[in-house]
Structure 1
Amino acid sequence: MGADMPNRPSASDESTLLKWMRLEIGRINDGVVAERKRLSRLLQEEHPASVTKGGTRYDFDREVLLRLEQGLPGDLQRRLRLPIIFYFDSTVPDSFFLADEVAVQVLQCLQEISPLRRMQGGRLWMAKPLVYAVMNRYPTAVQIMMR
């Protein structure tokens, strides 16, 4: 019976694998901004920037910030924290999700997503090609983070 049994990972093997995966995801996320700043604050900075989780400087494109300022009402300018973070969940490989209601309102105001879309369970799911298109239109103002 023992020779015919497939090799299955032990609980300690799975624990080691999960630790390794968390470490790798942490490395991937090192480039994600640690302190998201309000658009209104970034516009006041001479060189708009923040710091990443890995401790490096993250520069925002001033032209993109000015386009956002022009496209958004004052209330959203004051409430929007940048960058907008989309989350990747490996259990849903074809989509990313937003967990920020203000970011959803901003994307609706910019006509990037339908005003009829609503968050469900604190998340709004978007297909990857749509997210990539938003990232291309607003470089440095959008990031993807792995969960």
Structure 2
Amino acid sequence: MPDRPSASDESTLLRWMRLEIGRINDGVVAERKRLSRLLAEEHPSSVTKGGNRYDFDRDVLLHLEQALPGELQRRLRLPILFYFDSTVPDSFFLADEAAVQALQDLGEISSLRRMQGGRLWIAKPLAYAVVNRYPTVMQIVMG
């Protein structure tokens, strides 16, 4: 019968997992900018948590400008972040009302969907499809 892991083994594993998740999240944008601000920049970009430059696809930004009302363009911060929660392995959640409204206006999620408890859960296949349709303006964050 295998030995049970000791408390120190578990804490070592948890530290390693946090370190790996941190590495994965290094590519996530640290300063999310409003769509209206990104559209005004000659080279729309921001900085990642890892300190690298993150360039936005201007064509995707222009598509959002055409598809979203001006009021929402001034509120929407990009990239839109889908959060992973290991307790809900088949879904991601959004925690930004402007992001939810933008995805509804784009026809990506139903306008009948509402946030509950500050979150709106999205099935992983749908979130992956949205991330692929709008490159650079959507990111997934590991929790």
Same fold, TM-score > 0.5, yes or no? yes
Question: Which of 10, 26, 29 is the equivalent residue of 1:30?
Answer: 26
**Number of positions where the alignment pairs a residue of Structure 1 with one of Structure 2:** 143
Partners in 2 of 1:9 and 1:122 — Cα distance? 37
Q: TM-score, normalised by structure 2?
A: 0.96
* Displaced runs of 4 or more, over 3 A: none
Q: SS where residue 31 of structure 1 aligns? A: coil
CA RMSD of aligned residues (A): 1.0
- In structure 1, stretches of 5+ residues that fail to align are none
CA distance in 2, matches of 1:9, 1:120: 38
Percent of aligned pairs with the same residue? 84
- 1:75 matched to 2:71? The reply is yes
Q: 1:140 aligns with which of 114, 117, 136?
A: 136
| Runs of at least 5 residues in structure 2 that lack an aligned partner in the other structure | none
Query: Which residue is 1:108 aligned to?
Result: 104
Partner of 1:43: 39
Q: Quick one: which of 16, 21, 30 aligns to 1:20?
A: 16
Please give the alpha-carbon distance, in whole angstroms, between the structure 2 residues aligned to 1:33 and 1:92: 23
Q: In structure 2, what is the Cα distance between the partners aligned to 1:18 and 1:54?
A: 21
Larger radius of gyration between Structure 1 and Structure 2: 1
